[in-house]
Amino acid sequence: MKVLLINGSPHANGNTARALKEVADTLAAEGLETETFWIGLKPVRGCVACGQCRGKDLGRCAFDDDVANRIVEKLQTADAIVIGSPTYYGQPAGAFLAAWQRVCFSASTLIHGKPAASVAVCRRGGSTAAFQCLNMPFEMLNSVLIGSQYWNVVFGLSEGECAQDGEGMQTMRTLGRNMAWVVKNLNRPDALPRPADEPWQPTNFIR
């Protein structure tokens, strides 16, 4: 049982990393395997809606020149997912969002139905809006969205400062325990299978 945590910050060891570490340490203490993946600093392209991923059933983005498909590869062995991002102008960081939208569109089956959670980090405000934005793909990919004792937000500016946010850190640990509980229950031999999906009935409002 492995949980993939994705650090969507340009800082490998910043506050997003610190918040995710609190979740990962808790998951590990609960006996789950974890892997934290940092998206890095290289340029990331946005989705150009070429449709090749779905048209050719690639299962990954047609553009292989940045981190998006590295995330797809990591998702293949993940039983559960935690995404984390700093808050930039009340939104998730652009580079992460650019990659994540392409991952969600091209490799939705690797997210579909899995336990998932988002974490947003900020200095002072806007993290709840970023948190909502991060949750949106999960909420339409049949994810089992994992909550905590508060919204999954932590506060901090300089590197690692969020460790001083006691309630934020506690919220991360509670999130980790909740996720471990759900993942372990879903992997019990007597766990009920997910309900079968109905065939999709696309309706674009005008036809």
Ligand X SMILES: Cc1cc2nc3c(=O)[nH]c(=O)nc-3n(C[C@H](O)[C@H](O)[C@H](O)COP(=O)(O)O)c2cc1C
- The nearest distance, CB 39 to ligand X, in angstroms, is 11
**What is the per-residue binding string for ligand X in 131-170, x denoting contact by CB under 6 A?**
-------------------------xx-------------
Residue choice 3, 5, 9, 67 for contact with ligand X (CB under 6 A) = 9
Neighbours of 67 (CB within 10 A): 24
Q: For ligand X, how many residues bind (rule: CB under 6 A)?
A: 18
User: Interface with ligand X by CB under 6 A: which range of 38-46, 59-67, 124-132, 168-176?
Assistant: 124-132
Strands 91-92 and 80-88: antiparallel
- The nearest distance, CB 108 to ligand X, in angstroms, is 26
Instruction: Identify whether the C-beta of residue 179 lies closer than 8 Å to the C-beta of residue 23.
Output: yes
The reply to whether 123 sits near ligand X by the rule CB under 6 A is yes
- The nearest distance, CB 85 to ligand X, in angstroms, is 8
**What is the per-residue binding string for ligand X in 65-104, x denoting contact by CB under 6 A?**
---------------------xxxxx--------------
Place of tokens 């079968």: 196
Instruction: Identify whether the C-beta of residue 137 lies closer than 8 Å to the C-beta of residue 100.
Output: yes
User: Interface with ligand X by CB under 6 A: which range of 33-41, 117-125, 167-175, 180-188?
Assistant: 117-125
Q: Residue 184 is encoded by which pair of tokens?
A: 């372990």
Instruction: Identify whether the C-beta of residue 19 lies closer than 8 Å to the C-beta of residue 84.
Output: yes
- CA pair distance 101, 140, nearest whole angstrom: 13
Neighbours of 58 (CB within 10 A): 15
Q: Is the dihedral of CA 44, 47, 52, 57 positive or negative?
A: positive
User: Interface with ligand X by CB under 6 A: which range of 9-17, 23-31, 143-151, 199-207?
Assistant: 9-17
- The nearest distance, CB 149 to ligand X, in angstroms, is 21
| Inter-CA distances, 98 with 30, 48, 93, 103, Å | 32, 10, 9, 9
Q: CB nearer to ligand X: give 84 or 115.
A: 84
**Which positions touch ligand X (CB under 6 A)?**
9, 11, 14-16, 86-90, 121-126, 156-157
